[in-house]
Amino acid sequence: MKDFNTIKLICEENARISSSVVDEFLIYYAAGYNNLESEMNRRFADYRHITQKFQKEWVNMLKSQYIAHKIFKKGGLIKSIINSSGIKRLNQEEIKYLEFQTENPWRFSFSVLKDIPSKDFYIMEDAFSEDEYLLFSPGTGRILESQPAILW
């Protein structure tokens, strides 16, 4: 049996660092890196007929996710960003967090919820590869309380 309390503590610590480093700094820093913001806006313009129907906050969230994907996917920009001068303003804990991310690409997938083994923990199955993985996500629980979801 998994020790979900220990896993939760680790996840919450990673979320704290991620909020500070990724959400409050790196997304904005990376937007100006290698003309990423221009590329993103060009790509999003192709879907203006769809995004204009969304609330501005949703479009901004999608743009943040686009940038995060470009940074943290396998072979992403993190390997070059980590050595850039702007990263030097971060503290040692934050730099170590980013160094870990260079060796551990983020999983971006469409998935199906298979099981809920503990509060805020979900067994997910990648809709394409059928790989299963454990997800810790308090937000998933909040979404499930208000609406069903077939694909994540």
pLDDT in tens, 79-96: 999 999 889 999 999 999
The pLDDT of residue 1 is: 63
Helices (H), 1-152: 4-18, 27-31, 36-45, 48-51, 56-72, 78-81, 92-103, 138-146
pTM, full prediction:
0.82
Gyration radius (Cα) of the chain, Å: 17
Q: Is residue 99 pLDDT above 80, yes or no?
A: yes
pLDDT in tens, 20-75: 999 999 999 998 887 888 888 888 889 889 888 888 888 888 889 999 999 999 99
Count of residues for the chain? 152
Q: Please, are residues 26 and 81 in contact by the beta-carbon 8 Å criterion?
A: yes
Determine the straight-line distance between the first and last CA of the chain, rounded to whole angstroms: 26
pLDDT in tens, 109-136: 899 999 999 999 999 999 999 999 999 9
From the list 134, 144, 142, the residue with the least C-alpha distance to 7 is: 134
Q: Give residue 126's region: left, alpha or beta (phi > 0; psi -120 to 50).
A: beta
Which residues contact residue 119 at a Cβ distance below 8 angstroms, ignoring those fewer than 6 apart? 4, 141
